[in-house]
């Protein structure tokens, strides 16, 4: 238990850790002040007993309830209440700020970490999993975890202070409380073991549910198009049902321990009350002490119960921290390079090999791409085309060999200085839930409106933007789903134009474009690639034929390379590629 609390404090960062430790100290002070109420109650009860001739519990009490004693009691209560209110406000502010800044800080830390993780990480982890960590998991950390930890510590501190007071009044009563506390701790220990077994499954079920809901909503159009509604619903329903089963099982497993804890505390409270009454009757202490101990027993067991309730949630908090650490401890791509401006833009792959996990994707590939040349990469699905492009831009690090830009190994570049040399246009364009202007401006943060409009005109998207009600201030849906695929593609080209990088990577950028947009996109691509180094993965014959060099990949190796006319003469993959495209072009409806 203390290990999890200490870990949470360290997890929260130095500044928030100081906030939490200062909160613990203030909670101890609050607990001391709050117990002044028992001192006031003792003085009042002893004074009443004195007046009634029922005995004197203290040599200090030589008189009954006088005005002096009345004002002393009022003063103690006033100090207790005022100090508690004042300090509680401070503590709650520290805890609230600490909790939310911890969550915010970790979200930022994860976001920064995601920038430098290799793309293989995203192949293993779905959008839903990552979203779940940055939303649900961080909500647990920022809201639940902070309150769990601080309320648990609050209960523990109050229990310690009350136990010390009870030992002071009567050591026998104090020892009984310690015994009951030990029984409670043992029950709680086994509850933690049971919770540990099921909590990981619970968090995984929550995470899978988020992932499946996102996948279902994002892919609903495809689901309906291919009449897969039933199977998609079944998959989502299975996740919901699994989540229900796990939640129910968790309650069923923990429930008996909750009941045992409650029984032990209730019995303990009854035992203490009976002891206080019998010891008072036996004359071992006075009525005032007996009544005060009974009052304390009622409070201390509530504090113990609260501590036990919150401690059962520590496992969920620990699992939440594990989920965040799983991302933060991922091995990122080392950015130990320096800012470099290459003398030329020649790209050289020298005996490059690369694997996804244990599957070899590229095997000893060597390739030279000259500055301002156009290179087309073709080959069967899974041959390694996209991987080549991603390795050139250092989305991954090669396993063997090296890649150089301008004669310098790309690992020697800082990530930012390397990225300045590349612009990307992918088949699946992603646009942000923001204005069209800001989506284009993403390519150059300090771009003027004139530069944005000029880039849009070159990308052949200015006219359609101006036809929208709000023009460049039109807000796009998440992913840009309120405009057509061709329009999205042209906005992404405008973004790349604004960046004006010397190397353009096109990954099947025109694969799914309708005929109405194809002419506009052809003009846009011509403007984008003018005087640039162009590396493209393409399946359209006219595009490939225009390349200065055609590289044919198969099973992770370069099997053919040359110009269109040369490769077309050989009976190989490229010639078959040509025949397939010519057959497709000849289809008529």
Domain ranges of the chain: 8-328, 347-586
Compare 346 and 316 and report the one with higher pLDDT: 346
321-324 long-range contacts (CB < 8 A, ≥24 apart) are: 321/7, 321/8, 321/11, 321/141, 321/145, 323/132, 323/133, 323/137, 323/203, 323/207, 324/11, 324/106, 324/110, 324/133, 324/137, 324/138, 324/141
Q: How many CB atoms lie within 10 A of CB 378?
A: 23
User: Which tens digits make up the pLDDT trace of 492-533?
Assistant: 888 888 888 889 888 765 555 555 556 666 677 777 778 888
Which CATH topology does 8-328 take? ABC transporter transmembrane region fold (1.20.1560)
- The band of 536, judged by pLDDT with boundaries at 50, 70 and 90, is confident
Question: Measured in Å, how far apart are the chain's first and last C-alpha atoms?
Answer: 71
Rounded to an integer, the average pLDDT of 442-470 is 87
User: Is the pLDDT confidence value at 588 over 50?
Assistant: no
Compare 206 and 94 and report the one with higher pLDDT: 94
pLDDT score of 521: 65
pLDDT score of 137: 77
Lowest mean pLDDT across 15-24, 93-102, 533-542: 533-542
User: Is the pLDDT confidence value at 233 over 80?
Assistant: no
pLDDT score of 53: 66
H or E segment and range at residue 536: strand 533-537
User: Is the pLDDT confidence value at 221 over 60?
Assistant: no
Token couple for 156: 């523990």
Q: Do the Cβ atoms of 406 and 580 come closer than 8 Å?
A: no
Q: Do the Cβ atoms of 342 and 406 come closer than 8 Å?
A: yes
User: Is the pLDDT confidence value at 361 over 90?
Assistant: no
Token couple for 83: 């100090």
* Residue bearing tokens 């609260």: 306
For the sheet with 359-369, list strands across it: 359-369, 347-356, 400-405, 408-409
d(CA 300, CA 34): 13
Lowest mean pLDDT across 53-62, 81-90, 230-239, 576-585: 53-62
pLDDT score of 510: 57
User: What residues contact 519, with CB distance under 8 A and at least 6 apart?
Assistant: none
- The band of 351, judged by pLDDT with boundaries at 50, 70 and 90, is very high
Token couple for 327: 């991302």
Instruction: From residue 541, give the alpha-carbon distance in Å to each of 424, 469, 582.
Output: 21, 38, 8
Q: Do the Cβ atoms of 272 and 169 come closer than 8 Å?
A: no
Find, among 340, 292, 341, the residue nearest to 173 by Cα.
Answer: 292
Q: Do the Cβ atoms of 552 and 388 come closer than 8 Å?
A: no
- The band of 404, judged by pLDDT with boundaries at 50, 70 and 90, is very high
User: Are domains 8-328 and 347-586 of this chain identical in fold?
Assistant: no
- The band of 310, judged by pLDDT with boundaries at 50, 70 and 90, is low
Q: For the domain bounded by 347-586, which CATH number is listed? A: 3.40.50.300
Which 8-state DSSP code applies to residue 513? -
Q: Do the Cβ atoms of 537 and 389 come closer than 8 Å?
A: yes
Mode of pairing for the β-strands spanning 359-369 and 347-356:
antiparallel
Which 8-state DSSP code applies to residue 334? P
Q: What is the DSSP string of 475-506?
A: BPPTTSTTS-HHHHHHHHHHHHHHHT-SEEEE
Rounded to an integer, the average pLDDT of 131-151 is 73
pLDDT score of 109: 85
Question: Average pLDDT of the chain?
Answer: 79
Which 8-state DSSP code applies to residue 412? G
State the helix-helix crossing angle for 287-311 and 36-52, rounded to 10 degrees. Answer: 160
Compare 266 and 66 and report the one with higher pLDDT: 266
User: Is the pLDDT confidence value at 21 over 80?
Assistant: yes
């Amino acid at each position: 238990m203390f290990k999890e609390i200490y870990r949470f404090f360290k997890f929260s960062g130095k500044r928030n850790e100081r906030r939490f430790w200062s909160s613990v100290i203030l909670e101890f002070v609050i607990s001391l002040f709050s117990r002044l109420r028992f001192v006031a109650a003792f003085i009042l009860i002893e004074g009443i007993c004195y007046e009634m001739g029922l005995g004197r519990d203290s040599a200090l009490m030589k008189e009954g309830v006088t005005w002096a004693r009345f004002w002393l009691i009022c003063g103690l209560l006033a100090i207790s209440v005022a100090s508690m209110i004042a300090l509680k406000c401070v503590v709650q502010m520290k805890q609230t700020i600490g909790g939310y800044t911890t969550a915010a800080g970790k979200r930022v830390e994860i976001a920064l970490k995601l920038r430098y993780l290799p793309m293989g990480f995203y192949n293993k982890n779905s959008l839903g999993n990552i979203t779940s960590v940055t939303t649900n998991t961080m909500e647990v950390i920022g809201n639940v975890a902070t309150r769990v930890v601080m309320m648990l510590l609050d209960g523990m501190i109050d229990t310690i202070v009350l136990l010390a007071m009870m030992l002071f009044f009567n050591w026998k009563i104090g020892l009984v409380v310690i015994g009951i506390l030990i029984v409670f701790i043992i029950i709680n220990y086994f509850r933690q073991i049971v919770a540990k077994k099921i909590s990981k499954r619970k968090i995984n079920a929550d995470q899978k549910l988020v992932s499946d809901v996102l996948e279902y909503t994002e892919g609903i159009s495809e689901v309906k198009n291919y009449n897969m509604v039933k199977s998609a619903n079944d998959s989502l329903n299975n996740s919901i049902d699994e989540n229900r089963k796990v939640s129910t099982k968790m309650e069923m497993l923990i429930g008996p321990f909750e009941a045992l804890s409650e029984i032990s505390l209730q019995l303990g409270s009854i035992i203490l009350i009976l002891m206080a009454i019998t010891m008072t009757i036996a004359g071992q202490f006075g009525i005032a002490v007996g009544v005060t101990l009974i009052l304390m027993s009622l409070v201390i067991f509530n504090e113990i119960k609260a501590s036990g309730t919150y401690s059962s949630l520590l496992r969920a908090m620990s699992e939440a921290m594990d989920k965040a650490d799983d991302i933060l401890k991922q091995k990122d791509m080392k950015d130990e390079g320096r800012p470099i401006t290459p003398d030329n833009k020649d790209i050289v792959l020298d005996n490059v090999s690369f694997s996804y996990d244990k599957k070899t994707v590229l095997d000893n590939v060597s390739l030279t791409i000259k500055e301002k040349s156009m290179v087309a990469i073709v080959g069967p699905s899974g041959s390694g085309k996209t991987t080549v492009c991603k390795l050139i831009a250092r989305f991954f690090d090669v396993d063997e060999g090296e890649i150089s830009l301008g004669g310098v190994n790309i690992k020697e570049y800082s990530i930012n200085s390397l990225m300045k040399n590349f612009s990307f246009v992918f088949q699946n364009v992603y646009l942000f839930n923001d204005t069209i202007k800001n989506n284009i401006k993403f390519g150059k943060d300090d771009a003027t409106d004139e530069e944005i409009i000029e880039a849009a005109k070159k990308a052949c998207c200015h006219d359609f933007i101006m036809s929208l009600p709000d023009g460049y201030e039109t807000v796009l849906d998440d992913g840009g789903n309120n405009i057509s695929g061709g329009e999205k593609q042209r906005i992404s080209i405008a973004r790349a134009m604004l960046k004006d990088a010397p190397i353009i990577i096109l990954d099947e950028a025109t694969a799914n474009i309708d005929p109405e947009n194809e002419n506009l996109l052809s003009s846009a691509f011509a403007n984008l690639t003018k005087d640039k180094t162009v590396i493209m993965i393409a399946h359209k014959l006219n595009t490939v034929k225009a390349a200065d060099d055609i590289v044919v990949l198969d099973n992770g190796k370069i099997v053919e390379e040359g110009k269109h006319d040369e490769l077309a003469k050989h009976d190989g993959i490229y010639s078959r590629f040509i025949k397939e495209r010519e057959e497709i072009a000849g289809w008529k409806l």
